[in-house]
């Protein structure tokens, strides 16, 4: 936290090294978050890329009131929402393209899973409601507190806690069923 405050301070002063350090520090976390929300590698990489470029462009105006990791995680989640909305529009206007998107998301080589367990996890995550997946991913991979996620989703903290717990229960059930097969 201390390091982040100084990194942001230096970044706002136009320091290139500080920006590189921020990228190095959070790139993997943010990619994992984007992948958990999207389940698509290429799109996740694009989103992380765009988030950092926007972040760099706003050096002068950046007003960071919370912690840096939560801020960047929120940026990723916002972009994923926009990306999903854009995909939904595509889906409703072009059925052929929509099918292609669905098949892409199911292509195993795009999941970057290292083992069977991760493949199962990604499958299970994809079966949760988006709100549940977002609550779980932002909390565990984005490092955000329930209160911060509640603000982001514009619901109460108890609702987020419920989404988180029910989501985990559902994941547990899905993974247990897979293990029995």
Partner 1 sequence: MRPSKNIEKLIKDVNIDTNAKMDNAVLVDVLEALENSKKKGPAIAQPSIWGIIMKSRITKITTAAVIIIVVMVGLYHYTGSFHGTTAAFATSDVITAMKQVQWTHATTQWIDHNNVPVDKLKNWDGLEFWQSIDPYRTISIGSSGDIEFTELNSEKVYDPKNNTITITSPHYPEKDPPASMQEIWLDCVSDLEKSGAKVEYSDSVYGDRPAKIIKVDYTKESGWHEEITIIVDAETHLAREFMVYQKTTKGESGTMLMLIDYPPTGPKDIYEAGAPHDAEVKVIDNLDEGK
Site residues for partner 1 per CB under 8 A? 1-3, 5-6, 9-10, 12-16, 19-20, 23, 25, 27-28, 31-32, 35-36, 45, 48-49, 52-53, 55-60, 64-66, 112, 114, 117-118, 120-121, 125, 136-137, 139-141, 143, 145-146, 168, 171-173, 175-176, 178-179
Number of residues that make up the chain: 181
Between residues 98 and 168, which has the closer beta carbon with respect to partner 1?
168
CB 41 within 8 A of CB 58: no
How far is C-alpha 22 from the geometric centre of its chain's CA atoms? 17
Instruction: Identify the H or E element spanning 166.
Output: helix 157-180
102's tokens: 């669905």
Query: Smallest distance from the beta carbon of 56 to partner 1, in angstroms?
Result: 4
Looking at 39-115, list the stretches that DSSP marks H as alpha helix, in order from N- to C-terminal side.
41-57, 68-93, 95-105
Between residues 83 and 146, which has the closer beta carbon with respect to partner 1?
146
Query: Smallest distance from the beta carbon of 42 to partner 1, in angstroms?
Result: 10
């Amino acid at each position: 936290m201390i390091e982040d405050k100084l990194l942001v301070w230096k970044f706002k002063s136009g320091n290139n090294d500080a920006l590189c350090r921020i990228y190095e520090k959070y790139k993997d976390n943010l990619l994992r978050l984007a992948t958990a929300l999207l389940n698509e590698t290429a799109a996740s990489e694009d989103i992380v890329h765009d988030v950092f470029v926007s972040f760099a462009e706003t050096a002068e105006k950046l007003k960071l009131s919370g912690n840096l990791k939560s801020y960047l995680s929120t940026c990723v989640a916002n972009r994923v929402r926009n990306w999903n909305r854009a995909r939904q529009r595509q889906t409703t206007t072009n059925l052929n393209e929509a099918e292609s998107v669905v098949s892409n998301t199911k292509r195993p080589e795009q999941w970057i899973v290292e083992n069977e367990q991760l493949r199962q996890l990604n499958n299970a995550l994809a079966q949760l409601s988006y709100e549940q997946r977002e609550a779980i991913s932002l909390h565990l991979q984005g490092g955000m507190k329930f209160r911060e996620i509640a603000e982001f989703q514009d619901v109460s903290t108890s609702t987020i806690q419920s989404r988180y717990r029910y989501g985990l229960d559902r994941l547990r059930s899905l993974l247990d069923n897979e293990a029995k097969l």
